[in-house]
Amino acid sequence: MVAGQPIGTMIGSRMINNAQAGFIIGAVIMLAFGFVALAIWPREESSKDMERTKMTLKDLAVSFHFPKFSTSRDFYKAFGYRVCMLLSYQMISVYQLYIVEDYVHQTKTEAAGTIATMSIITMVVSLSASLISGPISDKMHTRARY
């Protein structure tokens, strides 16, 4: 996601004056990478000889049960922070063209160039932050253990 969205934004910004070609190219890329994922995905062993257990409707319902807040506080904090971060990132990404056109007063073609540049910057900063924050989290021992 860290690399895919900015790269997709950059490709999409190059197709700003020809949306139909952009949609076709996007569909072809998604189809191609779907086949790539199928080709490299690790194969699971067959479950044909495994012992089967009977599953009731109650077992299914329990599997959707959320953990208790008192024992999973870190989970809920991480979940809330992640939802807020992704929501804010998506809001900016979705409305980026309108922001650049209406508030920076660029033409659609100029805005496409600005958005392409911003997507590269976003990708570099996001990847750098991910590489830095992992070791910091390890040293602080703040990750939840499940």
3-state secondary structure 56-92: CHHHHHHHCCCCCCCCCHHHHHHHHHHHHHHHHHHHH
Candidates 144, 138, 113; CA nearest to 13 is 113
pLDDT tens digit string along 13-45?
A: 888 888 888 889 889 988 999 999 999 988 888
Note the pLDDT of residue 87.
92
Mean pLDDT, all residues of the chain:
85
| 56 pLDDT more than 70 | yes
Considering only residues 106 and 1, tell me which one the structure prediction assigns the higher pLDDT.
Answer: 106
- Whether the pLDDT of residue 144 is over 60: the answer is no
- 145 pLDDT more than 80: no
Rounded mean pLDDT of 99-122? 89
Identify the residue with better confidence: 31 or 75. Answer: 31
